A and B are shown apart, each in its own frame.
Chain A
Amino acid sequence: MPELGSPAAATRRDDTPTSHNTYVELVDVSKGFGGTAVLRAFSLAIARREFITLLGPSGCGKTTLLRLIAGLIRPDSGTIRVGGRDLTALPAHRRNVGIVFQSYALFPHLSVWENVAFGLRARRVERAHIAREVDGALDMVRLGGLGDRAVRSLSGGQQQRVSLARAIVTKPAVMLLDEPFSALDRKLRESMQIETRELLRRIDATAIFVTHDQEEALIMSDRVVVMKDGHVEQIGSPQAVYRKPATPFVLGFVGQSLRLAGQVEAAEHGLMTIATAHGVVRASGTVARGTRVLVAVRPECVEFASASSEHNGATAVVRDVVFVGSKTHVLLEAGRDDALAAELGGPSPPSITPGALATIRWRIADTLVFPLTAS
């Protein structure tokens, strides 16, 4: 285990929680609002000092989950435990969670310093101690000296950092962050994501992020929980979720993909032959013959070359070439339910222009196959 503080410690942690390492635990948590169930028997175990992101579209229940852990709402059934303690019946102000909101929720009638001191004052910490902690927190977010400023006079990025300082100063057991960067513009967002990660590592925090931005999820977390309609679609490291999505939903929600609709023609010895509108595709797996499937590949695995025994291939007319700086997206004409796409690092070669016929290929090993249900 890398020593805390060493460079290796700043990198991702890959362990999935074992029972002795579990720090935050949700067991069979259900919650509904006005007759509609948002979460149904939801369970999740989070390790100490783990960064985990709840990722999903709006309405999937991720924010509800966060509010349940914070204690702002109570579950209809189930248990919530932090550090072994059963918190389910405890109201928010008696749990020790820190939360950073999307809108920052800073108190406009108080100065920056008073905002950060708010939680310590609530706990009736003595004055000298408050001063030390607040100054320390402000320094940690690089806002030292701005304590007297009015909240309204700060920029978005600065407000976000005050919000962070306010949450960490009480040394919470868990840090909850609800889309904390969504209000920032793109450039700022990227630098804040990195800065926040470093800060939370430095204070040994266990952090739960909520976001609908899949890029952010991949950047910030040790594990990603992809959610849909109140249940888990997949839990795994960012690499696992990206390279090996468990369901078509995860495939579509995280990253881009090349997609082909197909039907399994043969499946022997772990190798499948799938018929698609763009030719035969081979992939490893054991889906039964006759099953309708979705074949997919990540676009960066697609190259412009002829097929081989280790590759699947397709030939199609280039529809569009989109240059985005460090990458180029190439879209090709495909059938109605299909999407042929490739991603090249850097600018595209001159032969790849709209209207040109192109041959693409990708490795059999990179091919993903998802059985589709009858409906």
Chain B
Amino acid sequence: MRALAERAAGIAGGIYLVLLAAFMLWPVAIVTLVSFSPTPVFDVPTEGASLQWYRKLADLDELWPAVRLSAEVGAIASVGALMLGSLCALGLRRGRLYCPACILAFLMSPLMLPGIVLGVAMLITFRATGFLDAYTSLVLAHIVITVPYVVRVLYAALGLFDFTMIDAARTLGYSHPVALWKVLVPNLLPSFVTAGMFAFLMSVDNYALALFLGDVRTVTLPIELLKLLDRAADPTVAAIATLMVAFTAALLVVGERLIGAARLVGRSA
């Protein structure tokens, strides 16, 4: 009797998990389905799918510059964040700094603040004072929100790295910096890739900074998307959204291939 009740509870638990997971995932699913809608309204393609909304993408004049801008800003910000962040993580791990935990907390703080607050703060400092143009402000701002990810990923990875390998490389004939390059970098490459990927994704997805720091000629993909959602109410937007999802998924798959799913998710393999 008891066993039956336990089994029932187990099944109920499993159903709950599945339902709630579906609840979290179905917005994305619906967007993907609707992008193939045969009609100009948001219909699920139960009678024949259509690619017409994808074809219409080519006609959207303002979309592609936005995509390009987001990609550029994302790339530059990721590279900048990787450079700053990896050096910083190394310094935190191996340096004899006063309170590494405090410094880490400080480094994470840009993520703790609402994007809007950051956007406004930088708008006032960069743009309103006329210091910098939209593009530069955007890049600088995006580095601020991507550095924390890089530091977090690399700091964790460096914790698992055996630094006596660097000692070995030094005694075998390489100077200290070269030893780091020849031994640390190749072994940490998966973490660099992970960090870079997340930095890029976070940058591309960010709307708050672009909302305040962009201008008429500096429109990123999220902002363009919001504008389209405001105006056109047809599945073209769904097509764009689906492509974005596909791209992100592809990026994650590539990452998984490179370093294994478990490590991507953040658990030790």
Which residues of A come within 8 Å of B, CB atoms?
34, 67, 70-72, 91-93, 95, 97-99, 101-103, 105-109, 118-119, 122-123, 166-167, 170
Contacts and interface: CB of A to CB of B under 8 A. Distances in A.
Given A34-B96, A109-B186, A101 B176 contact: no
B46 interface: no
Interface in B167-209: 167-176, 179, 183, 186-187
A99 B173 contact: no
Contacts of B175: 91, 93
Given A91-B176, A105-B162, A107-B165, A99 B183 contact: no
Given A91-B175, A91-B176, A93-B173, A108 B164 contact: no
How many chain B residues sit at the interface, stated as a range, is 10 to 19
Main secondary structure of the interface of A (DSSP, over half): loop
A277 B28 CA distance: 85
A91 B174 CA distance: 10
Contact of A118 (B96, B167, B169, B186): B169
Nearest to A91: B175
Contact of B170 (A72, A107, A166, A170): A72
B176 A170 contact: no
Contacts of A71: 170-171
24 contacts: A34-B96, A71-B171, A72-B167, A72-B170, A91-B170, A92-B170, A92-B171, A93-B170, A93-B171, A93-B172, A93-B176, A98-B171, A101-B167, A102-B164, A103-B162, A105-B168, A107-B168, A107-B183, A108-B187, A109-B186, A118-B172, A119-B172, A122-B173, A123-B173
B95 to A, nearest CB: 12
Nearest to B172: A119
A1 B191 CA distance: 57
A34 B168 CA distance: 24
A300 B87 CA distance: 58
Contact of B173 (A72, A103, A119): A119
A156 to B, nearest CB: 15
B186 A103 contact: no
Contact of B172 (A34, A67, A122): A122
Contact of B171 (A70, A103, A106, A107): A70
Given A34-B96, A107-B183, A109-B187, A99 B174 contact: no
Nearest to B165: A105
A33 to B, nearest CB: 9
A349 B124 CA distance: 93
A72 B171 contact: yes
Contacts of A106: 165
Contacts of B183: 107, 109
A107 B174 CA distance: 14
Contacts of B176: 91-93
Identify which of A92, A103, A118 gathers the most chain B CB atoms within 10 Å of its CB. Answer: A92
Contacts of A93: 170-176, 179
The 4 closest A-B pairs by CB, nearest first: A122-B173, A119-B172, A92-B170, A105-B164
A102 B165 CA distance: 11
Identify which of A102, A108, A122 gathers the most chain B CB atoms within 10 Å of its CB. Answer: A122
B167 A70 contact: yes
Given A93-B172, A98-B171, A122-B172, 8 more contacts: A72-B170, A72-B171, A92-B171, A93-B173, A107-B183, A109-B186, A118-B172, A166-B168
A72 B165 CA distance: 12
A236 to B, nearest CB: 29
Nearest to B166: A105
A370 to B, nearest CB: 38
A108 to B, nearest CB: 6
B164 A103 contact: yes
Identify which of B171, B174, B187 gathers the most chain A CB atoms within 10 Å of its CB. Answer: B171
Given A34-B96, A103-B162, A109-B187, A122 B174 contact: yes
Identify which of B169, B170, B173, B176 gathers the most chain A CB atoms within 10 Å of its CB. Answer: B173
Contacts of B164: 101-103, 105
Nearest to B189: A109
Given A34-B96, A105-B162, A105-B164, A99 B171 contact: yes
A118 B179 CA distance: 11
Contact of A101 (B168, B173, B174): B168
A82 to B, nearest CB: 13
A167 B164 CA distance: 14
Interface string B142-174: 000000000000000000001011011111111
